[in-house]
A and B are shown apart, each in its own frame.
Chain A
Amino acid sequence: MQDTVLIVGAGPAGLSAAAQVAGVGYKAVLVEKEDVLGGAPIISGYARLVPSGEWAKDAIGRMVKRVEDDANVAIHKGTKVTELNGEPGKFTAKLSNGKSVKAGAVVLATGFTHFDSVNKPEWGFGTFPDVVTTTQVEQMVTAGKIACPSDGRTPERVAILLCVGSRDRQIGREWCSKICCTVSTNLAMEIKELSPKTQVFVYYMDIRTFGLYEDRFYWKSQEEFRTKFIKARIAEVTAAPDGRLLLKGEDTLVKRPIVIPFDMVVHAVGMDPNMDNPEIAEVFGVSLENHGFIERGEHYTNTCGTTRPGIYSCGAAYGPETIDDSISQGMAAGARAIADLHGLTRKAG
């Protein structure tokens, strides 16, 4: 009887799937390509998470500790799966560290890649040091200081540009990255907490702080933190002679072109499909949907399934996803994988 589930990726979804599998008495083998566990929130140094407000290193750190302390979870760091053979109930995976794993089912918790802002050169990332990404500001918040990278000064005016690498047919990214609106309103408040004199402006096409994020983040950032929201997609970021940044846009409600000076410009970067997805699709024999994320098998009765029986997925591997929902989906995928083992056991017995 096969009692092992192979889980690929140790971010929030994979950690959750591993805990689920081990929690009901089966064995999980967790394979992570990076040398640390925790996924994007740890590797990219996120600050406080939405919506709990807990520091990422504490919250995700707890998830990491839970699997590290579990004797039913075997962990391979700095390792990739290079080959997968077999069928539901009896897969064999070869790992890049030379080992091989026998598993009854596989969960791909392979996540996403942050959009690389150099792909939108007109917005100045890579050209001007004071144009940064939300990831960099997360790191500033974690370090406890908001400063312009060029000279270390505290910015008087910060602009956050939404939908960088999202909702943009020009660069083949036709999806909404789902989390950036809320993350940006949260960051606006965090910037203000660390630097009360800094004014924060958010430039948006639409604000999508869905569900309970509306009042807790969007409204609160205005009511308590005086964040200004301007409905405009910025055309270009350039520099003024004094070194400050200039944003060129149209204030669509006032209906006139505007040029506004800022000290720091933040790209709210979206979620790309994991840049390794072509390799993942090849190794695991699963399909990708047309945006490049992993394709779901069927929505309603095989929610966690990919296009290959016995291989499941969860979290941002399926498309832009929040940390909370990635964790729930990790549990679901873990449980679904166990059902495969269990079903096969019953059949055999």
Chain B
Amino acid sequence: MATYAEMQQVFDDIRSDFRYDHELNGCLNCGICTATCPSAQFYDYSPREIVQLLWTENVEQVYDAMQEKIWACAQCMTCAARCPFKNSPGGLVAIMREVAIKHEMQSAKDVLRPFGRVMLKLITTGNQLSPDMIQPDHFPDWGPNIQKVDGDLRILRKAIPMKTLQTTDTAWEISLKTSVEMYTIWEMTGVLKSLELMDENLFDVIEDFIEEKREEYEEWLEEQEED
């Protein structure tokens, strides 16, 4: 159990986020956010409750909500589109999630663990999903329409006018330069730092991979100069 001082620190980190005053103007307690929230239909989650806890500076309950509730939000932002005060409950949840990661909360680790594979695939290939993954057997929930993707995938993909999309084992052709630039962005915006806090092993694997790619890029640059 966290001490009050720790919970206060968590709250202060949320409140001092540069987006906070933009996302929270006050609250009329009208409930339109919760009424329109798809997650509230299925989970013990209410955007109005999140807004109220933050607005009334309920430090303990804010901390409590970060243990489970905030992870039920699907970030669809319908709440933000409806709120008559133009609050963004979904935006506040985004801030709370980032602070949960910063504080290495177990709730964040539990929720994010299944996404490790996605992250690895994304960083190493630049894609989450590739055309050759879409096999009829793998998507029974798609129903009979899945047959429409049956056929010679290579030829089907050649029919796409964009040359970079004529691939089968990645969604599109990834430029090495773009990848290396993305790594720099992730580094500078704290994405990789967040990853390190959440899953050190995954972070090590990804960092090794990034290092390799950067070397590859340097070599490519040198080759260009030689030519």
The smallest beta-carbon distance between A335 and chain B, in angstroms, is: 39
Does A87 sit at the interface, judged by CB under 8 A?
no
Known: A170-B84, A234-B35, A249-B35. A206 touches B40 (CB 8 A): no
Complex: A169 Cα to B82 Cα, angstroms: 10
The segment from B16-24, B41-49, B156-164 that touches chain A is B41-49
Kindly supply a per-residue 1/0 record for chain B positions 43-61, scoring 1 wherever the CB is within 8 Å of any chain A CB and 0 otherwise: 0001011000000000000
Known: A255-B49, A257-B37. A250 touches B31 (CB 8 A): yes
Known: A170-B83, A235-B35. A250 touches B28 (CB 8 A): no
Complex: A168 Cα to B33 Cα, angstroms: 13
For A258, what are the chain B residues with a Cβ–Cβ distance below 8 Å?
Answer: 35
Are B36 and A235 in contact, CB atoms less than 8 angstroms apart?
yes
Does B112 sit at the interface, judged by CB under 8 A?
no
For B85, what are the chain A residues with a Cβ–Cβ distance below 8 Å?
Answer: 169
| Other-chain contact of B36, A163, A168, A236, A251 (Cβ < 8 Å) | A236
| Other-chain contact of A233, B30, B40, B49 (Cβ < 8 Å) | B30
Are B84 and A205 in contact, CB atoms less than 8 angstroms apart?
yes
Are A257 and B34 in contact, CB atoms less than 8 angstroms apart?
yes
Does B174 sit at the interface, judged by CB under 8 A?
no
Interface size bracket, A side: 20 to 34
Name the CB-closest residue of A to B79. A235
Does B105 sit at the interface, judged by CB under 8 A?
no
Complex: A330 Cα to B37 Cα, angstroms: 47
Name the CB-closest residue of A to B37. A257
| Other-chain contact of B40, A169, A170, A257 (Cβ < 8 Å) | A257
Known: A167-B84, A170-B83, A252-B34. 10 other contacts (CB 8 A): A170-B81, A205-B28, A205-B84, A231-B29, A233-B84, A234-B32, A249-B31, A250-B32, A252-B31, A257-B35
Complex: A252 Cα to B28 Cα, angstroms: 11
Complex: A252 Cα to B47 Cα, angstroms: 11
Closest 4 CB pairs of A and B: A250-B31, A233-B30, A235-B35, A235-B36
Name the CB-closest residue of A to B82. A235
Does B86 sit at the interface, judged by CB under 8 A?
yes
Kindly supply a per-residue 1/0 record for chain A positions 250-275, scoring 1 wherever the CB is within 8 Å of any chain B CB and 0 otherwise: 11100101100000000000000000
The smallest beta-carbon distance between A328 and chain B, in angstroms, is: 30
For B35, what are the chain A residues with a Cβ–Cβ distance below 8 Å?
Answer: 232-236, 248-250, 257-258
Known: A235-B36, A250-B46, A255-B49. A205 touches B86 (CB 8 A): no
For B32, what are the chain A residues with a Cβ–Cβ distance below 8 Å?
Answer: 232-235, 249-250
The smallest beta-carbon distance between A231 and chain B, in angstroms, is: 7
Kindly supply a per-residue 1/0 record for chain A positions 205-237, scoring 1 wherever the CB is within 8 Å of any chain B CB and 0 otherwise: 110000000000000000000000001111110
The smallest beta-carbon distance between B174 and chain A, in angstroms, is: 40
The smallest beta-carbon distance between B55 and chain A, in angstroms, is: 14
Name the CB-closest residue of B to A233. B30
Are B31 and A170 in contact, CB atoms less than 8 angstroms apart?
no
For A167, what are the chain B residues with a Cβ–Cβ distance below 8 Å?
Answer: 28, 84
For A205, what are the chain B residues with a Cβ–Cβ distance below 8 Å?
Answer: 28-30, 84
Kindly supply a per-residue 1/0 record for chain A positions 156-196, scoring 1 wherever the CB is within 8 Å of any chain B CB and 0 otherwise: 00000001000111100000000000000000000000000
8 A Cβ contacts from B87-114 to A: none
Complex: A168 Cα to B82 Cα, angstroms: 9
Are B37 and A170 in contact, CB atoms less than 8 angstroms apart?
no
The smallest beta-carbon distance between B138 and chain A, in angstroms, is: 34
Kindly supply a per-residue 1/0 record for chain B positions 174-208, scoring 1 wherever the CB is within 8 Å of any chain A CB and 0 otherwise: 00000000000000000000000000000000000
The smallest beta-carbon distance between A245 and chain B, in angstroms, is: 15
Complex: A255 Cα to B48 Cα, angstroms: 9
The smallest beta-carbon distance between B31 and chain A, in angstroms, is: 3
| Other-chain contact of A257, B41, B83, B86 (Cβ < 8 Å) | B41
Known: A169-B85, A250-B48. A206 touches B31 (CB 8 A): no
